[in-house]
């Protein structure tokens, strides 16, 4: 499959606090989950609470550089799978979230962070 992405993605675990937006207000419940990857255009978030395509959420996370990023995002896709452990079976969702409101400064910080790591990774051909 030929996959074309608008922005390069960096596979990295970053803790994200998020609230679902219901109408004009944010849900009072704060969720905390982890990214699977990140780009200047959005993130793939691994969540336990299922979200639906089109849902809007507020996101807050710290890049490993220490920079705090605040954004509003929209769920673009959801891929649900089962995680089995010794104690139980749990549904988990990889959730693609596009940044729809993010300051230019925060978007630039994400872009610089992603490119700084990707530029230092050895290529497959080396």
Closest CA to 8 of 116, 122, 126: 116
The alpha helices in 1-126, defined as continuous H runs, are 104-120
Give the position of tokens 């990707």.
118
CA–CA dist 67, 49 (Å, integer)? 26
Tokens describing residue 64: 């490993």
- Residue 107 domain-assigned (yes or no): no
8 in helix, strand or coil?
coil
CATH code assigned at 49:
2.40.10.220
Selection from 71, 64, 67 nearest residue 18 by Cα: 71
In a domain, 53, yes or no: yes
Each residue's pLDDT tens digit, 54-72 = 999 999 999 999 999 999 9
Task: Give the pLDDT confidence of 71-119 residue by residue, as tens digits.
Answer: 999 999 999 877 666 677 667 899 999 999 999 999 999 999 999 988 8
96 within a domain of the structure (yes/no): no
Contacts of 124 (CB under 8 A, 6+ apart): none
Tally of domains in the chain: 1
Q: Give the residue numbers spanning the domain of 45.
A: 6-78
């Amino acid at each position: 499959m030929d996959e074309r992405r608008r922005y390069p993605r960096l596979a990295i675990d970053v803790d994200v606090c998020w609230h679902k937006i219901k109408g004009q207000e944010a849900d009072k419940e704060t969720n905390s989950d982890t990214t699977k990857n990140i780009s200047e255009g959005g993130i793939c978030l691994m969540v336990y609470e299922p979200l639906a395509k089109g849902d809007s959420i507020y996101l807050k996370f710290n890049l490993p550089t220490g920079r705090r990023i605040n954004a509003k995002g929209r769920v673009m896709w959801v891929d649900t799978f089962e995680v089995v452990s010794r104690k139980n079976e749990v549904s988990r969702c990889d959730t693609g979230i596009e940044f729809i409101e993010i300051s230019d400064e925060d978007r630039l910080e994400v872009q610089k962070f992603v490119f700084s790591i990707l530029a230092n990774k050895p290529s497959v051909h080396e």
